[in-house]
Structure 1
Amino acid sequence: MQTRTTAKRSDGDPRGAIATWALAAAQLVSWGSIYYAFSLFVVPMESTMGWSRTATNAALSTGLLISGFVAYPIGTWIDRGYGRRVMACGSVLAAAMLALWSQAHSLPTLFVVWIGLGVAMAATLYDPVFTVVTRNFPGSFRTKIIVITLVAGFASTVFIPLTQGLIDWSGWRGALLVLAAANLMICLPLHVFAIDRDMPRADDLDYKAARKTINAAATKRALRTPTFWALAVCFTAYYATFAALTFHLVPLMTGRRVSPALMLTTMAVIGPAQVVARMVWFTIGRDVRPSIVGVVVTTAFPAAVIILMCAGTSPVLLILFAIVYGGANGMMTILRGTIVQDVMWTEGYGAVSGLLSMPSNIAKGIAPISAAAIWTVRGNYLAVEWTVLLVSLVSTAAFVLATRLAAGQKFDDRQVNFK
């Protein structure tokens, strides 16, 4: 049998640090161009194409649903050594879909675009990069995940004003072409450079069989573990509320007659708030038990919703909302990337993480269209905010339950051998 070159670099390898920063830069562009930019295109598309808010959000929801369905197979492919190919192809697909979106003249085209972007998100955003980092750097993945999320935390700060400027300068179609070029010219080469080519040789059948066995065993064990199900409820509830609020925040503030300058300022504060929260975690939070950090995170989000409900057009309250909201999401991203390893195990992480992401991403898909439907029925966003608040409290309760279940369940080895 041929010898296979392992993907795992030494944690002190200087190229590993360079690769980490490259992946962080790619995450900044991917999040900013694919995810955060959408809300800025809603009103211009409605104005020029006559599409309803429910219809545009239905296209987005379709993409997020697709992202959920493909999360598990993408995680298993990365576990088998196809990380570079997955993330590079994801960037190419994102560029192609954004370019197609710029030429959309009918709703079916918009739905096709978001089906493709759903696959691209599953292949380029946090879940795949966390899997790549965990797989390649088992001794330092927590620090590298924090670094990546620190940089990517500026995605909304950079891309919301940038995208708005592009829309003002060249229209929404021209702006989409620029975002497509960014994925092709920035993300693609960074993914190719930063991720080692670590595919097994064609004749290395033992390795392929072993990886399939480990992934299958990890998946089965997760489905039998109560901690996994509690975490699934926690993240599903959290990301449903986060998606509903994120994609409707600009229309919500527009409906309340918040000035454009204050609206952009509020949105721009979210990114730095995420980064500051992650820096706090990096400096003083690494030695704090994940259960304590998780309770803080899952409590902060409903607190942010309450502030938003009371804010009206108050600059002070809107900025406070952005700080708490951004801080909560900033820490949640790190929590999501590390909690499985902390309370469960690391072997088959890509498969387990992908399985955990499926209901979360499906909920992300349902949430924007559900929020749009509630808005259509009520004619305002108050009912949406109450729904978001109640569901976010479910996330808090589920996380508390998950940590208590984990404390009472012993795993013989976090680096479990599933053979």
Structure 2
Amino acid sequence: MSISEVDIEQRAIGRAPRFHPAWTIVAVAALALVAAGSFATIAGLITEPLVETKGWSRAGIGAAVAVNMVLYGAVGPFAAAMMDRYGIRRVTSYALITLIASSVLTALFTPSVFWFVLWFGFAIGVGTGSITTVFAATVANRWFYRKIGLATGLLTAASVFGQFAMLPLLSVLLGRADWRAPVLVCGVLATVALLAVLLFLREGPAAVGTVRYGADPGSETVGTDRPINPFARTITAMRSALRDTRFWVLASMFALCGATTNGLMWSHFTPAAHDHGMAATTASGLLAIIGVANILGTVSAGWLTDRIEPRLLLAVFFLGRGVSLALLPVLFTSGRSPDLVVFAVAFGILDVATVPPTLTLCRHYFGADSALTFGWISVFHQLGAGAMALTGGLIRDINGSYTPLWITAALACLTAAALGTTGSRIR
């Protein structure tokens, strides 16, 4: 019997291959997340060059970043519905094509702030919003029965890597060329991801004649079930959540979370460091440290959430973040001092650590609709991020310093910590 005949026979009886294709899918999805993530933090890197070369105000640039961040969150639940209806491969491909086109338009066709808002704010916001943690969860659920946590963790780490670890390379390019270079390189990375998606990404195990990783071949059907109207279910989950006080508590906390992380560090850390005489490469290196520490913080927070009351963890995480932000104006220097490295590590550990306890509370409060409800809570996260991106630019333009911004962010964290102590215990 030939090798091809053996392979056909094994597929026919549902025998799982020695190397499960789910790991190939994870690798391809991770590359897409890295590409999308690289666009997420680039705004802070190019703000000063845009101010100097274009003469635009920081408030105008902040408006584009605000639009970008709001769409980054708002598109997520609907992108998940589109993936259920039209397929992961198709939606991801269109999102990457949007990012490629937008990077070229941003770099070459931005005569005014209006066009920067359109290309960078709206178009890139839609593209990156389609490839977020919702995409990661969809891939993991579609391909894994066991080790789904590991798969989700790897994909989340890929997104964080794209957001922060790429910054040192992009800052070097900025120093050797101009602000267009890092934008175009992000487009090149999206092109590489697009080719990988078109060649290797598949909708589900049935497409390659197998079952989810770790599943018993006899326990799953080969077909793919898709909701009749995923949009309707998404909207229904939102309407139900809006009537629940617990949703508003979590949404308010996550809005403050987004304001004191994405809206703050992605947009204003590098310009603030520039004000203190720090080179862009140094600031990007500190952000990369934050990204690496994010991975440690997320894994540790997940482990702690299984053992400690989630509300208490949220209060502690927000309190620690507030203290670190309040100290930042004192720690800023022109170089990478040991104190700033400690800040980067501490802030990074606390940055994404709020996600596991929030997800646990969602599962407890909202049951079967917890994933969709978390998607809507994430919208508030990005609303807070967008508001802070815009507010930070206004504060810098009016005050001439970012110091009031760090104090405002610290107070926001204290408010979130207080909200974290409300509600009923789940243990």
Shorter-chain TM range is 0.7 to 0.9
Q: Which residue of 1 aligns with 2:271?
A: 251
Correspondence 1:304 to 2:324? yes
Q: CA RMSD in A?
A: 3.1
- Aligned to 2:179, the other structure's residue is in SS state helix
Give the direction of change, closer, same or farther, for the CA distance of 1:252–1:233 in structure 2 (3 Å limit).
same
Contact 2:33/2:155 (CA < 8 Å) preserved in 1? yes
Distance (whole Å) between structure 2 residues aligned to residue 184 and residue 290 of structure 1: 43
Correspondence 1:29 to 2:48? no
- Aligned to 1:257, the other structure's residue is in SS state coil
Displacement of 1:225 in angstroms is: 2.8
Aligned residue type for 1:22: V
Contact 1:84/1:192 (CA < 8 Å) preserved in 2? no
Distance (whole Å) between structure 1 residues aligned to residue 363 and residue 147 of structure 2: 12
Displacement of 1:365 in angstroms is: 1.7
- Aligned to 1:345, the other structure's residue is in SS state helix
Displacement of 1:194 in angstroms is: 3.8
User: For residues 312-337 of structure 1, what are the alpha-carbon distances to aligned partners after superposition, in whole Å with 9 as ceiling and x for unaligned?
Assistant: 32712211111111111232345556
Contact 2:50/2:56 (CA < 8 Å) preserved in 1? yes
Q: Which residue of 2 aligns with 1:5?
A: none
Give the direction of change, closer, same or farther, for the CA distance of 1:15–1:337 in structure 2 (3 Å limit).
farther
Alignment of 1:76-87 (within 5 A): 76-80=81-85, 82-87=87-92
Q: Aligned to 2:307, which of 260, 271, 288?
A: 288
Give the direction of change, closer, same or farther, for the CA distance of 1:215–1:36 in structure 2 (3 Å limit).
closer
Contact 1:63/1:119 (CA < 8 Å) preserved in 2? yes
Displacement of 1:395 in angstroms is: 2.0
Q: Which structure 1 residue ranges, 5 or more long, are not aligned?
A: 1-9, 409-419
Q: Aligned to 1:332, which of 325, 350, 354?
A: 354
Alignment of 1:313-352 (within 5 A): 313=333, 315-335=337-357, 339-341=361-363, 343-347=365-369, 349=371, 351-352=372-373
Displacement of 1:262 in angstroms is: 4.3
Q: Aligned to 1:110, which of 108, 116, 119?
A: 116
Distance (whole Å) between structure 2 residues aligned to residue 140 and residue 341 of structure 1: 19
Distance (whole Å) between structure 1 residues aligned to residue 83 and residue 425 of structure 2: 27
Distance (whole Å) between structure 1 residues aligned to residue 358 and residue 139 of structure 2: 15
Aligned residue type for 2:320: A
Distance (whole Å) between structure 1 residues aligned to residue 425 and residue 146 of structure 2: 22
Displacement of 1:161 in angstroms is: 1.1
Alignment of 1:176-195 (within 5 A): 176-187=183-194, 189-190=196-197, 193-195=200-202
Q: Which residue of 2 aligns with 1:365?
A: 386
TM-score norm. by structure 1 comes to 0.81
Distance (whole Å) between structure 2 residues aligned to residue 194 and residue 303 of structure 1: 43
Contact 2:141/2:148 (CA < 8 Å) preserved in 1? yes
Q: Which residue of 2 aligns with 1:354?
A: 375
Q: Which residue of 1 aligns with 2:243?
A: 224
Distance (whole Å) between structure 1 residues aligned to residue 284 and residue 32 of structure 2: 24
Correspondence 1:375 to 2:396? yes
Contact 2:68/2:124 (CA < 8 Å) preserved in 1? yes
Q: Which residue of 1 aligns with 2:214?
A: none
Displacement of 1:383 in angstroms is: 0.9
Q: Aligned to 1:387, which of 408, 415, 420?
A: 408
Q: Aligned to 1:154, which of 161, 168, 171?
A: 161
Correspondence 1:51 to 2:56? yes
Displacement of 1:275 in angstroms is: 2.2
Give the direction of change, closer, same or farther, for the CA distance of 1:405–1:18 in structure 2 (3 Å limit).
farther
Distance (whole Å) between structure 2 residues aligned to residue 171 and residue 183 of structure 1: 20
Alignment of 1:28-177 (within 5 A): 28-32=34-38, 34-80=39-85, 82-103=87-108, 104-113=110-119, 114-134=121-141, 136-137=143-144, 140-177=147-184
Q: Which is further off, 252-261 or 238-247?
A: 252-261
Q: How many residues align?
A: 388
Distance (whole Å) between structure 2 residues aligned to residue 146 and residue 334 of structure 1: 11
Displacement of 1:56 in angstroms is: 1.3
Give the direction of change, closer, same or farther, for the CA distance of 1:328–1:339 in structure 2 (3 Å limit).
same
Q: Aligned to 2:21, which of 2, 12, 15?
A: 15
Distance (whole Å) between structure 1 residues aligned to residue 147 and residue 306 of structure 2: 14
Alignment of 1:196-215 (within 5 A): 196=203, 208-209=227-228, 211=230, 214-215=233-234
Contact 2:305/2:313 (CA < 8 Å) preserved in 1? no
Displacement of 1:31 in angstroms is: 0.8
Contact 2:166/2:288 (CA < 8 Å) preserved in 1? no
Q: Which is further off, 381-390 or 260-269?
A: 260-269
Give the direction of change, closer, same or farther, for the CA distance of 1:394–1:144 in structure 2 (3 Å limit).
farther
Contact 1:299/1:396 (CA < 8 Å) preserved in 2? yes
Distance (whole Å) between structure 2 residues aligned to residue 29 and residue 301 of structure 1: 28
Displacement of 1:136 in angstroms is: 4.9
Contact 1:79/1:348 (CA < 8 Å) preserved in 2? no
Distance (whole Å) between structure 2 residues aligned to residue 325 and residue 192 of structure 1: 38
Contact 1:93/1:117 (CA < 8 Å) preserved in 2? yes
User: For residues 55-106 of structure 1, what are the alpha-carbon distances to aligned partners after superposition, in whole Å with 9 as ceiling and x for unaligned?
Assistant: 1111111222333443442233335463332222111111111111111222
Q: Which residue of 1 aligns with 2:254?
A: 235
Give the direction of change, closer, same or farther, for the CA distance of 1:384–1:366 in structure 2 (3 Å limit).
same
